[in-house]
Amino acid sequence: MSSCFIDTVEDSLTGIYKSIDNFARVSKHGGGMGLYMGKVRATGSDIRGFKGAAGGVIRWIRLVNDTAIAVDQLGVRAGAAAVYLDIWHRDTPEFLQLRTNNGDDRMKAHDIFPALCVPDLFWRLAGTNLDGDWYLMDPHQIATVKGWNLEDAFGPEWERRYWDCVNDPAIDKRVLSVKEMVRLIIKSLVETGTPFIFNRDTVNEANPNSHQGMIYASNLCTEIAQNMSAMHEETPEIMDIDGETVVVTKTVPGDFVVCNLASLSLGHIDVDNDEELRQVIYTVMRALDNVIDLNYYALPYAKLTSQRMRPVGLGTSGYQHLLAKKHIRFESEEHLAYMDDLYERINYHALEASCDIAREKGAYRDFAGSEYDTGEYFRKRDYVSGKWQALAEKIQENGLRNGYLLAVAPTSSTSILAGTTAAVDPVLKKFFLEEKKGSMLTRVAPDLDDTTFWYYKNAHHIDQNWVVDAAAIRQRHIDQAQSVNLYVTPEYTFRKVLDLYLRAWEKGVKTIYYVRSQSLEVEECESCSA
């Protein structure tokens, strides 16, 4: 009953193949996977002291790609994986060309979705000093020389370590300008819609469970943000059990992320009736929490993490459907104010429901010391009203059942079944044909009539600054992340695309999913075409 998994790939032959095996087992049962490969040594790194022996991450990513094709979920669909890499990793330029159509095909992985983990420092330089240098380094060499891992820090501590590495002559650097890095990213975005972007400092600074670890990456659809750590195997032991010789290998499980998702269909709920909204959320939160105990887990590591942190991901679909029914234009301050209030109420009811379940069944294991426990979660989000303070005190007294609560998934197929719009996206068009599994589906904006017609605006015709601003408004109330797509047209310049990403970072958006570009060879306004 779970769809989203994330694994941290250890920098060892055993660890890499273990993660690939984990992906195969997850894919077999229909799950998508996020793989963080930021710990894997770069091309030309040493292996057991032999210089230049390492082949880098691209070779391993190709194995993940082949696994996705081979383990095809009973022929229904191919396996799917997103691979995350830090933007300072020495293999990043090649990583950004995984899906492009030019270059050496031996360095391609067309079925993998690349994603970049980007620190605040890079965005600051991209906004102020595009001609400045950006240093790419090997995580293994850093660990060998420094005795610590650069990827294990975030925020000011990461920055201090980064400059320490840059200034250390014992660490090899591959130097590109910030502008060259941005060009590689935007070229890939325009050609392939990827890489997904994971703003690692923003994510970790908002992590309510930072007392128990950190978040390196997200999942296949960029909406999950939970503590992660790599599993590792201890040296095998030869043992005699009941007169039979066996080889026993012990695996230390780490944090193998799994999340259980459901979405509120906003267009089908009377969200202005707060009691109805509360009852729906209470029902969904209890159902999601039950899934954790009733679930079949393809991997025991997933079960361990799930039952310890009890994470759930309550999301939303029917976003523009709701706006159209309320006669609120997407490009308006009214939209932002309305959704700010709505998502605050969704968050409030989700927390209250989780607290009530905790009082009945017990809190998640690592609640003590979390930002929910200390109250820092509420202060960071400026939840200072009497209502919120009363809830914070209630949570401190009873705990929370779930370590993570909200995550907005893409809901593409499920929104079709529910007769609503997908996730938080605007509609592509008011009416169009969409191909699904070789068949053509007629798609019409839900509840389309003479009163809602003018409140549906095609995604590519919307000023994308409003998409970013809306994501930022919602993000304050979402403890994990969102699948946020950007819709660009050929008139978008390099600078305009960069400005969208800078705006998202500055406003605290944690992740950006696809960039969906469109060729406007034939421009026709369907609103006026009749």
State the catalytic residues. Answer: 219, 221, 223
Contacts made by residues 70-77, CB under 8 angstroms, sequence distance 24+: 70/24, 71/23, 71/24, 71/27, 71/28, 72/27, 73/27, 73/28, 73/29, 73/30, 76/30, 77/437
| Residue 251, C-beta contacts closer than 8 angstroms, at least 6 positions apart | 18, 231, 232, 233, 234, 301
Instruction: Write the burial class of residue 315 (CB in 10 Å: 0-12 exposed, 13-18 middle, 19+ buried).
Output: buried
Q: Is the dihedral of CA 211, 291, 33, 267 positive or negative?
A: negative
Q: How many CB atoms lie within 10 A of CB 302?
A: 24
Measure the CA–CA gap between 292 and 404, rounded to whole angstroms: 13
100 phi and psi angles, rounded to 5 deg: -70, 160
Residues paired with 117 in a beta bridge: 86, 198
In 3D, which of 64, 100, 67 has the Cα closest to residue 82?
64
> In which region does residue 44 sit, left (phi positive, over 0), alpha (psi from -120 to 50) or beta (all else)?
left
Give the three-state DSSP class for 196. Answer: strand
| Residue 173, C-beta contacts closer than 8 angstroms, at least 6 positions apart | 135, 136, 137, 166
| Token pair for 264 | 């509120």
In 3D, which of 275, 288, 247 has the Cα closest to residue 404?
288
Measure the CA–CA gap between 11 and 172, rounded to whole angstroms: 19
Measure the CA–CA gap between 34 and 285, rounded to whole angstroms: 24
Instruction: Give CA separation, 279 vs 141, 286, 318, in Å.
Output: 54, 11, 18
Q: How many CB atoms lie within 10 A of CB 463?
A: 11
Contact 50, 3 (CB under 8 A): no
| Token pair for 104 | 């050496």
